Chain A
Amino acid sequence: MDWVYLIEVLVGGLMSGVMYSLVAIGFVLIYKSSGIFNFAQGTMLLFASLTFVKMTENGIDFWTSLFIAAGIMVIFGVVTERYVIRPLANQDLLALFMATVGLATFQEGFSQFIWDSDVHGLQMSKFLDIGLLDPAPIFMSDHVPWLDILIPKFDIFASLVAGSLIVVLAFFFQKTKTGLSLRAVSDDHMAAMAVGIPLQTVWAVVWAVTGIIALVAGLLWAERVSVSFTLIEAVMKALPVILIGGLTSIPGAIVGGLVIGVGEKLGEIYLADVFGGQGIELWFAYFMALMFLVFRPQGMFGEKLIERV
């Protein structure tokens, strides 16, 4: 067995897992604060990154574009809360899910209507002078002689961003008063309103924050892949990630991402021959999640299902 190759595969898997986690965080944030399964996360990513890329392409500088794009996402979040979520508070969660499907459809049309449906690339190193954005990878053999693999610096950058987002959000939910009230809201909208939690305000904040997270994730995805319609499909891969991690767990988002990322790479190498066909990564992640959920229906770190008649 070629250990170096295996390590390379594992590292590659971990890095693509981080990319899934970035999307998953947004999902979990909304779910944890309102019980809503936000299907529009993928299109938010597309909309945010497309807005940003189109602005930089039109000659606006990096920070201004970032600022404007973040502003647009905040406005979008607040408007979503006001006109989609607020009127539907305390409704059946299935109805809320459907509403986010509607939101996703709208946004998919909207972002391509006002911008375009072309494929855009993004190279952040052109704007930012951060060592980690340098396209040249790290040669691990320089540091560890026998480890002859490459690690793109950008992947380390993405991991740092994802890691810090998760630490901040986990702290927010577990230790602050607002975090506590958000967890309460996800359990029972009506009771939360009755004890005086201002649903509207906290949801507007959560949607705005999710919009900004979508922008961050969108930029990283854009750098690694590209900005186009396919982003939405790539984001569908985040579904098994959050389901493995547990819908209510912020750390679950990252662990789930890593599990899927690594599992997918290993599956591609060791199982593709068994199935006699290429492209098993199309469904392999879903099967992994499925196997996992059959044994643990609430995901790895998800809240236990409390069922009483």
Chain B
Amino acid sequence: MSKSLLKVNNIEVVYNHVILALRGVTLDVEEGKVVSLLGANGSGKTTTLKACSNLLHAERGAITKGSIEYQDKDIANSDAYNLVKDGVVQVLEGRHCFSHLTVEENIMTGSFIRENSKEAKQDLERVYDHFERIRIRKKSLAGFTSGGEQQMIAMGRALMSRPKLILLDEPSMGLAPQLVEEIFAIVKALNKEGVSFLIAEQNAMVALKYADEGYLIENGRVILKGKAQELLDRPDVKEMYLGVGAEGQTSFRDIKYYHRRKPSFT
């Protein structure tokens, strides 16, 4: 049993003082694992990630209940900067590259917290090794690169802080299936180097394929959790998320049975 890195205990998040986005999310990322967070649009994946990286307040959101622990320390009151220093970094949904900076400058912004500039140079090489595609474009403005390249820039930028845990939000958004596979292969490679991942994804098939564990989230609640392979094998998950249901039409009454069971956490 490996050590738990990030522990989210039953958090509740409210936007703008009135909109309840999360109503109790509990999850656990163990060291060296890739954990996927699956769910439809608006189910609360991004909010969960932003709660973990303390970016909520910038969107007028706040955690009203529950706690988040990273390496057994409560991080509810630390800010994004200190979290990055401690090794948690988020790659935002929709890439958010600095469009007026060149690709290389973009990646270098990720090394702000590092004092040693020589190491940063080495890390830059390491990023280019992982993402060969952007090496050739390093002098062009990030605003003019393609979606896949921007995703790589965003991930490379996050890598520059030498994180222990990367919160990856929708890496497949707007990308060709081949590129999605490429991105996830890199995720796996980085994971081998010891980086843990919490990935929010809509493309459940790919996400579960590369993950160790998965959580299903709906309407701001975790409704199901389990090993990635177990989830892939479940008929209800297959039907609802993977689109490869049992033969013929299934009645909705039959397939939504997991809703009626209370999620049990150990």
Neighbouring B residues of A79 by C-beta, 8 Å = none
A89 CA to B79 CA in the complex, in Å?
13
Cα–Cα, bound, A184→B143 (Å): 12
B32 at the interface (CB under 8 A from A): no
Q: How far is the CA of A188 from the CA of B94 in the complex (A)?
A: 12
A97 to B160, CA, bound (A): 33
Contact B109 A195 (CB under 8 A): yes
Does B48 interact with chain A (Cβ within 8 Å)?
Answer: no
Q: Which of A180, A189, A304 has the most CB of B within 10 A?
A: A180
Verify B105–A180 contact, CB threshold 8 A.
Answer: yes
Q: Check A183/B100 contact, CB under 8 A, given A196-B84, A196-B161.
A: yes
A184 interface neighbour in B101, B113, B141, Cβ under 8 Å: B101
- Are B109 and A194 in touch, CB under 8 angstroms? no
B161 CB to nearest chain A CB (Å): 6
- Interchain CB contact (< 8 A) of B80 among A180, A187, A196, A306: A196
Bound together, the chains give a CA A193 to CA B98 distance in angstroms of: 12
Say if the beta carbon of B158 comes within 8 Å of chain A.
yes
Known contacts A198-B81, A306-B99; decide if A192 and B109 are in contact (CB<8 Å). Answer: yes
Find out whether the CB atom of B158 lies under 8 angstroms from the CB atom of A195. Answer: yes
Among B85, B96, B101, B143, the residue within 8 A (CB) of A194 is B96
- How many residues of B are in contact with the other chain, CB < 8 A? 37
How many angstroms from the CA of A187 to the CA of B45 in the assembled complex? 25
Bound form: Cα–Cα A254–B58 in Å:
35
Residues in B whose Cβ lies below 8 Å from that of A199: 81
Contact between A180 and B92, CB atoms less than 8 A apart:
no
Q: Please, how many angstroms separate the alpha-carbon atoms of A249 and B109 in the complex?
A: 20
A90-B59, A306-B143 given; A184·B99 CB < 8 A: no
Complex Cα gap A190–B169 (Å)? 14
Q: Is B108 an interface residue (CB 8 A)?
A: yes
**Does chain A have a CB within 8 A of B89?**
yes
Instruction: Tell me which residues from 118 to 161 in chain A have a Cβ below 8 Å from any Cβ of chain B.
Output: none
Q: Which of B108-129 contact A (CB under 8 A)?
A: 108-113, 117
Inter-chain contact A191/B81, CB cutoff 8 Å: no
Say whether A116 faces chain B, with CB atoms less than 8 Å apart.
Answer: no
Instruction: A195 to B109: give the CA distance in the assembly, Å.
Output: 7
Name the distance in Å between B168's Cβ and chain A's nearest Cβ: 11
The proximity string for B residues 133-168 relative to A, scoring 1 for CB distances below 8 Å and 0 otherwise, is 000000001011000000000100110110000000
> Of all chain A residues, which has the CB nearest B143?
A306
CA distance A248 to B101 in the complex (A): 12
C-alpha gap A197/B79 in the complex (Å): 11
Contact of A180 among B58, B108, B143 (CB under 8 A): B108
In the complex, chain B residues whose CB is within 8 Å of the CB of A180: 101, 105, 108-109
Residues of B within 8 A of A183 (CB): 98, 100-101, 105
Taking the closest CB of chain B, its distance from the CB of A63, in whole angstroms, is 35
Known interface pairs A177-B112, A196-B85. Does A191 touch B98 (Cβ–Cβ under 8 Å)? yes
Which among A180, A191, A196, A303 has the highest number of chain B CB atoms within 10 Å?
A196
Residues of chain A within 8 A (CB-CB) of B109 are: 180-181, 184, 192, 195, 197
Q: What's the least CB distance linking B200 to chain A, in Å?
A: 14
Interface of B is mostly: mixed
Nearest CB of B to A34, in Å: 13
Contact yes or no, B110 A195, CB < 8 A:
yes
B154 cross-chain contacts in A, Cβ below 8 A: 191
Interface centre among B89, B112, B113, B158 (most CB of A within 10 A): B112
**What CA separation (Å) do A191 and B50 show in the bound complex?**
12
From 152 to 208 in chain A, residues with beta carbon under 8 angstroms from any chain B beta carbon are: 177, 180-181, 183-184, 186-201
A201 neighbours in B (Cβ, 8 Å): 81
The answer to whether A196 touches B89, judged by C-beta atoms less than 8 angstroms apart, is: yes
**With the chains together, A240 CA to B132 CA distance in Å?**
44
Q: Which A residues lie within 8 Å of B79 (CB)? A: 198, 200
Report chain B residues within 8 Å CB of A248: 100
> In the assembled complex, how far is the CB of residue A17 from the closest CB belonging to chain B, in whole angstroms?
27
| Nearest A residue to B160, CB-CB | A195
Residue among B59, B98, B110 making CB contact with A196, cutoff 8 Å? B110
Cβ contacts A50-77/B at 8 Å (1 or 0 each): 0000000000000000000000000000
B97 within 8 A of A: yes
Q: Once the chains bind, are A196 and B143 in contact (CB under 8 Å)?
A: no
Contacts of B89 in A (CB 8 A): 194-196
Contact A195 B58 (CB under 8 A): no
**CB of A216 to closest CB in B, whole Å:** 28
Question: Complex: how many Å from CA A192 to CA B84?
Answer: 11
Extra contacts, 4 of them, besides A196-B112, A199-B81 (Cβ < 8 A), are A191-B92, A191-B96, A194-B90, A198-B81
Chain B residues in the interface with A (C-beta under 8 A): 53, 55, 58-59, 79-81, 83-85, 89-92, 96-101, 105-106, 108-113, 117, 141, 143-144, 154, 157-158, 160-161
4 nearest A-B residue pairs (beta carbon): A196-B84, A306-B143, A191-B96, A90-B58
15 A-B pairs with CB atoms under 8 Å apart are A89-B58, A177-B117, A180-B101, A184-B105, A184-B106, A188-B97, A193-B80, A193-B81, A194-B92, A195-B112, A195-B158, A196-B110, A198-B81, A304-B100, A306-B141
